[in-house]
Chains A and B, each alone.
Chain A
Amino acid sequence: GEDVEQSLFLSVREGDSSVINCTYTDSSSTYLYWYKQEPGAGLQLLTYIFSNMDMKQDQRLTVLLNKKDKHLSLRIADTQTGDSAIYFCAETGAGKSTFGDGTTLTVKP
Chain B
Amino acid sequence: DTGVSQNPRHKITKRGQNVTFRCDPISEHNRLYWYRQTLGQGPEFLTYFQNEAQLEKSRLLSDRFSAERPKGSFSTLEIQRTEQGDSAMYLCASSFASFPRSSYEQYFGPGTRLTVT
Contact = CB atoms under 8 A, between A and B. Distances in A.
Interface of A: 4, 30-31, 33, 35, 41-45, 48, 88, 90, 92, 94-102
A97 B55 CA distance: 14
Contacts of A98: 45
Interface residues of B, number: 22
Nearest to B40: A101
Given A31-B104, A94-B104, A100 B45 contact: no
A interface, over-half SS: strand
B42 A45 contact: no
Contacts of B105: 31, 33, 45, 48
A42 B91 contact: yes
Interface stretch (B11-19, B74-82, B108-116): B108-116
B84 interface: no
Nearest to B107: A45
Interface in B51-72: 55-56
